[in-house]
Structure 1
Amino acid sequence: MRKTLTFLTVLLAATSLSAQTAPKDQGDRYSGIPGASRSSVIAQNGMAATSQPLATQVALDILKAGGSAVDAAIAANATLGLMEPTGNGIGGDLFAIIWDPKTQKLHGLNASGRAPMGQSLKQLQERTRKMPRSVRDSDGTIADWGSASVTIPGTVDGWFEMHGKFGKLPMRQVLAPSIRYAQQGFPVSELIAQYWKGNTAGFDALHKEGVIEEIDNMRRAYMPGGKAPAEGEIFKNPDLALTLIEIAEGGRDAFYKGSLAQSMDRYFKRIGAPHRYEDFAAHKGEWVEPVSTNYRGYDVWEIPPNGQGIAALQILNILEGYDLKAMGRGSADFWHVFIEAKKRAFADRAKYYADPAFAKIPLKELLSKERAAKQRADIDMGKAALADPALPVDGGNDTIYMTVADKDGMMVSLIQSNYRGMGSGLVPDDGNGRTLGFMFQDRGAQFSLDPKHANAYAPGKRPFHTIIPAFMTKDGKPLLSFGVMGGAMQPQGHAQIVVNMVDFGMTVQAAGDVARFHHDGSTDPEGGKAMTEGGVVEIETGVPQAIADELTKRGHKVKYSVGPYGGYQAIWRDPVTGAYWGASEFRKDGQAAGY
């Protein structure tokens, strides 16, 4: 997909958008499409794109020191865990897709954690029933905070799995930048400061309601002086620095079998949670084969379940039957079929996506072109589907996404999260007055309490996961490492990026800058309320009012919103020159940079 499109060609593809009065007080660009925030960043030797500029610089420093793209990704991820605790950290999980230039193939890593062995489904159901209705999910599913939502963190193991295969520099050197920043401090950036304040504000009430067992450690770690740090304020986390030093020196076993694991075991016992040392010691990530679909000659790759990545592939399979380029982004038909394709993919997502070690997933059929054709035939161009358009088979802004590429051609697509917001609200300590400097994830809230559901809670099981890295190849060669963070937005966002590039010829930066939609209200894999009224289509102000009006006529509930459109980062590799084109999400605090 060489970028030879002229400015006029791309402009014509977006005419209906550019014809609208600019909804924001912003200037005009001299080149590129009107919706682009800036040019793509282009470099030959290495590229990094993360959601925090200082983390991007850390990645580049590691690349320049002779590190691989994996070394740089780990270093940046550790830095983001410090600087963006609202989205990730070593208390969370990780997934990655890595292009290895030596073997000329993609490697997938599922570094997600499991439920504790000492808690049964019946026990968790009883704990949930005792939760106050004011804080329990309205549909009776697992609370999003407190120990009921905690699964064993997989991130640290994921780092060492990647490093063992593809690392060049010693882990001490890789983690040194994040340790230094944790000790010396860094200025908090704008959007992260806003999220930080919002996340910490609700923990007191949840603690008083008995949902979060204790919050003193959270306050000590994340609310210096009794409040969340403001934009520009220098924040330090010396407790996290000490934890990272232990990991750098003692390896992954320091976290899962050593003193850190022992401290976490004591902490969970103290607050009455079922997680034990043995759960940490037994944890292990898994290398998996990425799965793909071919979309108009391009192979789009995702990690198979327990994640939701294949939903993006199912959406693309349905959309492939339409001439989206002829429809144009300025037509209601385009937005309508996209939303309807999402609904059909998400109906399958709610029913079938789960831990494959516990549930039989009809993966081949779900990704088949034949199934997509049946789902496509069910779409009414004049009417929105209000209930789940389920077809039987025969057989949040709370995540970080980042990508790094190095001079040898290795490309890393990595996503990491604590799940909802900062996580469970629980920060462990060492029993001697020091916190460990990180918060446990609340990913276990995505289990279903219905024993008949594929995603039903079980001891030792991995929950359904929203976080998904993505990759695109053509003719067996690497082309695009990308992701769109943010809950259920992610597969919708992945499909929108691919369509913007493949169907409309946009550059890697422009593809993420133009207006997006987010459909909310599909039945979810937690076993909550089923979709019966069509959900809500949230759109950005760049979508013309005429399109919103036409979608409304077809039965969609449409609203303009600053809403959950995710956070995009990407690196596109020029198949002719080998140069990297980097893109970063203007909706976030991030940066793409290369050298």
Structure 2
Amino acid sequence: MHNLMPRSYRDMVTTPHYLASQVGSAILIQGGNAIDAAVAVSAALAVVYPHMTGLGGDSFFMIYSAQAGKLVGLNGSGRAAAAANPAHFLRDGMSRPPDRGVQSAITVPGMVDAWWEVWSKYGKLPWEDLLRPALRYAEEGVPISRNLHVWMARDEPLLRADPILRDLYIDPLMNTIKPEGAKLKQPQLADSLRTLMQEGRDAFYEGSLMKAIIDAVRADGGLLAESDFTSHRSEWAEPLAVEYRGVQVCQMPPNSQGFSLLMMLNMLELFDLKRIPRNSSAFYHLVTEVVKRAFRYRDMHLSDPAFNSIPLELLLSREMAEQLVDEIRKNPAQTSEFESEPAGQDTAYAAVVDEEGNAVSFIQSLYYDFGSAYTAGQTGIILQNRGSYFSLDHAHPNVLAPGKRPFHTLMPGMALKDGKPIMLMGTQGGEGQPQTQLSLITGVLDYGCSIHEAISLPRWVYGRTWGDDSDRLRLENRDLGDAAERLKAWGHKVDVVDGWDGMMGQAQGILIGCDGIISGAADPRGDGLAIGS
């Protein structure tokens, strides 16, 4: 159950799938830098973890360039189709965009352009070298992993409904889902990867792949059009940062939810966490109340900043943190009310550090498990359903509009000390992403954990998933004692789940010590691996 924590003085790669980790390590050995390795890992994950990510999804990159001595971010999220607007769905009697199918695929996939942008700016190796491992896995096949098989079983009706997915995941002789360990070949996806290798990003946004995707979407009644793809560009952005325990913690700006974590840290900075036992009812109560208050303002403001003004200076101020902490201290043993919006959770986070000192923290997703569950024609590309999170209410900050980027759960993290990276962290999950990063950061900085220990700490997730009528606080059942009962007495709606429950996400992390030792860890809850050389 527990993965090893490798240490190295040279480099480190950690991803949620062992084959993707091996790809990243091989690229570094081949002479590539952390950016090269990140792109190769991202492409490999699109093949070996197809339920969580793919060419039809989005990605965010946070990159520390050792040469420039600077941290930069790349927002690789797609914008809504020009034809997408609330009236389109409201006139069909819908209260929100559909969760699945071609009409849920209303935002342009941004990940391929993000690969091209980060590689063009920082990469060393030829483009085709970075996509070759992914192509080989798609063409020759990979064993179906434990986590993929879990989601195949949960989503069997969706897989059967799409002809391409049915051929990939359903055994034609037994008429059942293929077993864990069976070989998964994706020949159509391999053809698309080969085209990308040969023609670069333009194949996806202007050329043959774009045309194939649009022809299929148009024939099936979707909204994406050629102009949506040709106008797409990723956006370089300056990360947001707050200081916590003398460390600068950095997150992507909106439309990422990363600022919600920074709000949480600003509040916890006002408490002496070392005096609160990590697995106590007092700890879980405090972090849950902190999460609620950050989510309240996240949900009030988060949107595409090109469409809405977001008061980040106020939200990340000391005054705001003190105001919110005063609320908590007025009722130290009583829960407050808050109702979150349920969010998708299937995501893949990875991190790379190279011997030159470059560091890349990156994350990618189709939003839901298998995204829209719609494969575009014969491309083998599953389109994301990220646009299904848009609201149709014109008064909502995340209201659907043409060319708008949605509220985005993706948030790669990095922490700096004296201007240099000391920690890279992130996780799978929607509502769980800021909460799990909070657990990792406090685990390392407040409780003195190694990165492996921090990832292995018992976790919590507060929020609401689809089908729930209210918010729940879910706790992993490890060393809880009477904490759950105390929390219930204080008014929390508590669910105790398995000790290493998959709903807690799959986190990865890298820690760089002051002595130069780089340690990495992958989540025991997933199929990942950390590799140093």
TM-score by structure 2 length? 0.94
C-alpha displacement of 1:277: 1.0
Contact 2:54–2:365 (CA under 8 A) maintained in structure 1 = yes
Between 378-387 and 438-447, the greater mean CA deviation after superposition: 378-387
Equivalent position of 1:574 in the other structure: 513
What SS does structure 1 have at the residue aligned with 2:210? helix
C-alpha displacement of 1:543: 4.2
C-alpha displacement of 1:319: 1.1
Amino acid at match of 1:194: V
Match of 1:469 among 412, 420, 435: 412
Contact 1:538–1:563 (CA under 8 A) maintained in structure 2 = no
Q: Structure 1: any 5+ residue segments left out of the alignment?
A: 1-25, 27-36, 131-139, 208-214, 390-395, 430-434
Match of 1:420 among 368, 389, 392: 368
Equivalent position of 1:432 in the other structure: none
Match of 2:164 among 187, 201, 217: 217
Contact 1:264–1:277 (CA under 8 A) maintained in structure 2 = no
What SS does structure 2 have at the residue aligned with 1:564? helix
- 5 Å-filtered alignment, 1:287-298, equals 287-298=236-247
Residues 171-200 of structure 1 show CA distances to partners (whole Å, capped at 9, x for unaligned) of 111111111111111111112211123223
Residues 506-533 of structure 1 show CA distances to partners (whole Å, capped at 9, x for unaligned) of 00110010101111139x9xxx99x9x6
Amino acid at match of 1:575: C
Separation in structure 2 between the aligned mates of residue 480 and residue 148 of structure 1, nearest angstrom: 39
Residues 28-79 of structure 1 show CA distances to partners (whole Å, capped at 9, x for unaligned) of xxxxxxxxx3552101222110111111111111110011111111111111
Residues 101-134 of structure 1 show CA distances to partners (whole Å, capped at 9, x for unaligned) of 011111101000011102322112224x25xxxx
Equivalent position of 2:286 in the other structure: 337
Equivalent position of 1:381 in the other structure: 332
C-alpha displacement of 1:407: 1.3
Larger radius of gyration: 1
What SS does structure 2 have at the residue aligned with 1:48? strand
Equivalent position of 2:224 in the other structure: 275
Separation in structure 2 between the aligned mates of residue 45 and residue 176 of structure 1, nearest angstrom: 24
C-alpha displacement of 1:224: 5.5
C-alpha displacement of 1:322: 1.1
Match of 1:511 among 454, 465, 474: 454
Separation in structure 1 between the aligned mates of residue 523 and residue 463 of structure 2, nearest angstrom: 21
Equivalent position of 2:477 in the other structure: 541
Q: Structure 2: any 5+ residue segments left out of the alignment?
A: none
- 5 Å-filtered alignment, 1:524-535, equals 535=471
Match of 2:351 among 395, 399, 403: 403
Separation in structure 1 between the aligned mates of residue 254 and residue 486 of structure 2, nearest angstrom: 36
C-alpha displacement of 1:203: 5.0
Identity %: 37
Separation in structure 2 between the aligned mates of residue 111 and residue 197 of structure 1, nearest angstrom: 30
Q: Given the alignment of the two structures, is residue 143 of structure 1 paired with residue 79 of structure 2, yes or no?
A: no
Change (3 A) 1:438 1:224: farther
C-alpha displacement of 1:228: 3.7
Separation in structure 1 between the aligned mates of residue 147 and residue 159 of structure 2, nearest angstrom: 20
Between 562-571 and 161-170, the greater mean CA deviation after superposition: 562-571
Separation in structure 1 between the aligned mates of residue 170 and residue 367 of structure 2, nearest angstrom: 20
Separation in structure 2 between the aligned mates of residue 86 and residue 387 of structure 1, nearest angstrom: 31
Match of 1:53 among 2, 14, 18: 18
Change (3 A) 1:168 1:409: same
Amino acid at match of 2:37: A
Contact 1:94–1:112 (CA under 8 A) maintained in structure 2 = yes
Separation in structure 1 between the aligned mates of residue 4 and residue 134 of structure 2, nearest angstrom: 29
Separation in structure 1 between the aligned mates of residue 390 and residue 88 of structure 2, nearest angstrom: 14
Equivalent position of 1:555 in the other structure: 491
Contact 2:3–2:521 (CA under 8 A) maintained in structure 1 = no
Contact 2:3–2:523 (CA under 8 A) maintained in structure 1 = no
C-alpha displacement of 1:397: 4.3
Separation in structure 2 between the aligned mates of residue 263 and residue 427 of structure 1, nearest angstrom: 11
Equivalent position of 2:129 in the other structure: 173
Equivalent position of 1:586 in the other structure: 524
Q: How many residues align?
A: 522
Separation in structure 1 between the aligned mates of residue 171 and residue 502 of structure 2, nearest angstrom: 29
Change (3 A) 1:415 1:387: closer
Equivalent position of 2:152 in the other structure: 196
Equivalent position of 2:438 in the other structure: 495
- 5 Å-filtered alignment, 1:79-98, equals 79-98=44-63
What SS does structure 1 have at the residue aligned with 2:155? helix
Separation in structure 1 between the aligned mates of residue 420 and residue 159 of structure 2, nearest angstrom: 47
Amino acid at match of 1:148: Q
Separation in structure 2 between the aligned mates of residue 330 and residue 415 of structure 1, nearest angstrom: 28
C-alpha displacement of 1:100: 0.6
What SS does structure 2 have at the residue aligned with 1:386? coil
Equivalent position of 2:78 in the other structure: 113
Contact 1:221–1:437 (CA under 8 A) maintained in structure 2 = no
Q: Indicate the RMSD between aligned Cα atoms, in angstroms.
A: 1.9
Contact 1:344–1:388 (CA under 8 A) maintained in structure 2 = no
- 5 Å-filtered alignment, 1:11-30, equals none
Equivalent position of 1:15 in the other structure: none
What SS does structure 2 have at the residue aligned with 1:232? coil
Equivalent position of 1:240 in the other structure: 189
C-alpha displacement of 1:405: 1.2
Contact 1:99–1:410 (CA under 8 A) maintained in structure 2 = yes
Contact 1:48–1:405 (CA under 8 A) maintained in structure 2 = yes
Residues 281-312 of structure 1 show CA distances to partners (whole Å, capped at 9, x for unaligned) of 11110000000111111111100111111111
Separation in structure 2 between the aligned mates of residue 112 and residue 286 of structure 1, nearest angstrom: 9
Residues 528-576 of structure 1 show CA distances to partners (whole Å, capped at 9, x for unaligned) of 99x9x6x211000114131111111111111111362111111111222
Match of 2:89 among 113, 116, 124: 124
C-alpha displacement of 1:373: 0.6
C-alpha displacement of 1:94: 0.2
Residues 216-260 of structure 1 show CA distances to partners (whole Å, capped at 9, x for unaligned) of 233234445355432111111111111111111111000000011
Contact 1:514–1:542 (CA under 8 A) maintained in structure 2 = no
Separation in structure 1 between the aligned mates of residue 32 and residue 502 of structure 2, nearest angstrom: 38
TM-score by structure 1 length? 0.85
Equivalent position of 2:421 in the other structure: 478
